[in-house]
Amino acid sequence: MKLQQAIEQANLAVVPYIMAGDGGLDQLENQMQLLSNAGATAIELGIPFSDPVADGPVIQEAGSRALAAHISLEQILKTLTTSKIDIPLVVMSYFNPIYHLGVERFIELAKKTPIKGLIIPDLPYEHRDLIMPHIENTDIALIPLISLTSPKERMELIAKQAQGFIYAVTVNGTTGERAEFGDKIDENLTYLKTISPVPVLAGFGISNLDHVARFAAVCDGVIVGSKIVQLLHDGKYEELSEFITGASAIK
Residues marked active site are found at 44, 55
- Across 89-203, the runs of DSSP E, i.e. the strands, are 89-92, 115-119, 141-142, 145-146, 166-169, 200-203
Q: Are strands 141-142 and 13-19 parallel, antiparallel or unpaired?
A: unpaired
Other CB atoms within 10 Å distance of the CB of residue 27:
13
Q: Are strands 43-46 and 221-224 parallel, antiparallel or unpaired?
A: unpaired
- Across the chain, the runs of DSSP E, i.e. the strands, are 13-19, 43-46, 89-92, 115-119, 141-142, 145-146, 166-169, 200-203, 221-224
Alpha-carbon span 121 to 59, nearest angstrom: 14
Q: Are strands 115-119 and 89-92 parallel, antiparallel or unpaired?
A: parallel
Instruction: Note whether 223 and 202 are within 8 A (CB).
Output: yes
Instruction: Note whether 125 and 157 are within 8 A (CB).
Output: yes
Strand partners, 141: 117
Nearest in space to 166 (alpha carbons), one of 184, 191, 183: 191
Nearest in space to 207 (alpha carbons), one of 173, 230, 174, 234: 230
Alpha-carbon span 103 to 106, nearest angstrom: 5
